[in-house]
Chains A and B, each alone.
Chain A
Amino acid sequence: MPITKTDLIDRYLHAVKFWLPKAQQEDIIAELGEDLLSQVEEGEAALGHQLDEDELAIILKKRGSPMKVASSYLPEQRLINPAMLPVYRLVLKIVLLWVFVPLFAFVFLGPVLAFAHPGRALLACCVEYWRAAFMTVGMVTTVFALLDRYQVKFKHADNWDPRKLPRVPGTQDTRARWNHLAGFIFGLAAAVFWVSLMWQRSEFAFSGGTRLILGPVWKQIYWPVLGVTLTGAFFDLLSSLYPRWTRVRSRARIGIDICGLIIAAVLLRAGNFVGIVDGHLSATDLATSVAWFNGMIDWTVIAAVVIEIGDAIHEARSLLRGKSAKPAAIQTT
């Protein structure tokens, strides 16, 4: 059965309609149909005969595929505001680093070194890596898509001050970069050391039957210490990647120092850090040993407090210096 002229046009319009939003379907299809009929009529008048199936097919093909035609009526859509793309990329990089570096240290290295079947552990870790990557990218993208959907505007984007832009990197930045990288590696190593030393531990047993019993305070501070150490390592990594972000780093360091001081206060308040069990020592020697151990820990914590206060003061001064600094001259090169 041959396809009639209206049959072909109807098929085409129906296919276009499928891709259009419901509210506009009838209106757009009516106008498009009218335009097509006008073109067909004009073609027939020019040729002096009714268009056959092939001629009509050429006209429709020239119009474009139904999906393409329908898409031209749809508003331009985007997942993320193009103006936010640089921020999106930056956040994605930071979050991925934050997810992957600790993941590498605790999920990857740990099992590979500890398990009897490193190959199996490696495979499991690769799966974990992919899952973490997809989840991270998905979550960050969703947040940015929602920001765009609800037209959230960032105050900072409009209220920026050229005088507060980071200075042009110099040789000092290169040095700072390496210092922070060293800080990051040290922080990560400290975190790994803390986990391997203290994970679910209540005592240390030594040869000869001597046991060092840990006070309950160590369980209380286990996660806070790990969190603070990893956060410090993360900001060191960030500073090594972006050495000009001095204000962000200073603020973060002050925050980390405050957290460290709170942990130190909890430790010092608890007092009894360790107890000793040893069958060979007399009660007096045992009491002296316990007092010596606790005293040593006490002084170590106090030393850490002094270092943290000093660091916080140094960072606060850097922040204030940065605030009051005025550009000496306009650099045009």
Chain B
Amino acid sequence: MIHTNAASSELFDNLRLELRRGCLVVAVLAQLYTEHYGYALRKALGDQGLAIDENTLYPLLRRLESQGLLVSQWREEEKRNKRFYRLSPLGEEVLPDLLEEWRQMTSALERILGDRGLASTPKSRSQSKEEK
């Protein structure tokens, strides 16, 4: 039984990772309408309920910058050099389309879940974990 639970937990973690991957891109791009440096961005996302690991965030920021969606610059703030990121003109152009796509997907998903009475689940796995 322990083995089954461990396997199901690993499976859930992998599915969760896949689910989060695309959402994080949207969240980071949306948050960077205003300029942030890495740590402040991580805090801001965490404060809004989307905690993100630094080993995920920084490589993601670099990838988005290399794709031309973000621009960054090193600047001194509070006597320390920090790298500030914000949305590039290309990012500003792409983000609304991405958000529209995301809205369509969530509303479709809501309809599917609503039709099957799954719109509100009794207790999610992460909620159960937190209670424990």
Interface string of A52-83 (1 = CB under 8 A from B): 00000000000110001100110000000000
B58 within 8 A of A: yes
| CA distance in complex: A39, B38 (Å) | 11
Q: Which residues of A contact B81 (CB under 8 A)?
A: 30, 34
Given A30-B81, A73-B62, residue A35 in contact with residue B55 (CB < 8 A): no
Q: Which residues of A contact B59 (CB under 8 A)?
A: 72-73
Choose one: A35, A64, A72, A73; the contact of B38 (CB below 8 Å). Answer: A35
Interface string of B61-95 (1 = CB under 8 A from A): 01000000000001000001111000000000000
Q: Which residues of B contact A35 (CB under 8 A)?
A: 38-39, 42, 54, 58
Q: Which residues of A contact B58 (CB under 8 A)?
A: 28, 31-32, 35, 72-73
In angstroms, how far is the closest chain B Cβ from the Cβ of A295? 76
Choose one: B55, B56, B83; the contact of A31 (CB below 8 Å). Answer: B83
Q: Is the interface of B mostly helix, strand, loop or mixed?
A: helix
In angstroms, how far is the closest chain B Cβ from the Cβ of A40? 11
Q: Which residue of A lies closest to B62 (CB)?
A: A73
Task: Establish whether residues B39 and A38, one from each chain, have CB atoms under 8 Å apart when the complex forms.
Answer: yes
| CA distance in complex: A62, B91 (Å) | 32
Q: Which residue of A lies closest to B60 (CB)?
A: A72
Q: Which residues of B contact A37 (CB under 8 A)?
A: 80
Q: Which residues of B contact A30 (CB under 8 A)?
A: 74, 81, 83
Task: Establish whether residues A72 and B39, one from each chain, have CB atoms under 8 Å apart when the complex forms.
Answer: no
Task: Establish whether residues B39 and A63, one from each chain, have CB atoms under 8 Å apart when the complex forms.
Answer: no
Q: Which residues of A contact B74 (CB under 8 A)?
A: 30
- Count of interface residues, chain A, beta-carbon cutoff 8 Å: 15
Q: Which residues of A contact B55 (CB under 8 A)?
A: 63-64, 68-69, 72
In angstroms, how far is the closest chain A Cβ from the Cβ of B44? 13
Q: Is the interface of A mostly helix, strand, loop or mixed?
A: helix
Task: Establish whether residues A39 and B56, one from each chain, have CB atoms under 8 Å apart when the complex forms.
Answer: no
Q: Which residues of B contact A39 (CB under 8 A)?
A: 39
Given A72-B59, A73-B59, A73-B62, residue A34 in contact with residue B54 (CB < 8 A): no
Q: Which residues of A contact B39 (CB under 8 A)?
A: 34-35, 38-39
Q: Which residues of A contact B37 (CB under 8 A)?
A: 34
In angstroms, how far is the closest chain B Cβ from the Cβ of A32? 7
Q: Which residue of A lies closest to B61 (CB)?
A: A31
Which residues of chain A in 11-34 are interfacial with respect to chain B, using CB atoms and an 8 Å cutoff? 28, 30-32, 34
Q: Which residues of A contact B54 (CB under 8 A)?
A: 32, 35, 63
Q: Which residues of A contact B83 (CB under 8 A)?
A: 30-31, 34
| CA distance in complex: A28, B38 (Å) | 12
In angstroms, how far is the closest chain B Cβ from the Cβ of A319? 46
| CA distance in complex: A333, B67 (Å) | 45
| CA distance in complex: A30, B37 (Å) | 13
Quick one: which of A28, A35, A69 has the most chain B CB within 10 A? A35
In angstroms, how far is the closest chain B Cβ from the Cβ of A30? 7
Interface string of A281-320 (1 = CB under 8 A from B): 0000000000000000000000000000000000000000
Q: Which residues of B contact A34 (CB under 8 A)?
A: 37-39, 80-83
In angstroms, how far is the closest chain A Cβ from the Cβ of B65? 11
Q: Which residues of A contact B42 (CB under 8 A)?
A: 35
| CA distance in complex: A63, B62 (Å) | 18
Chain B residues engaging chain A, CB cutoff 8 angstroms: 37-39, 42, 54-56, 58-59, 62, 74, 80-83
Chain A residues engaging chain B, CB cutoff 8 angstroms: 28, 30-32, 34-35, 37-39, 63-64, 68-69, 72-73
Q: A31-B38, A34-B82, A63-B55 are in contact. List 7 more A-B contacts (CB 8 A).
A: A28-B58, A34-B81, A35-B39, A69-B55, A72-B55, A72-B58, A73-B58
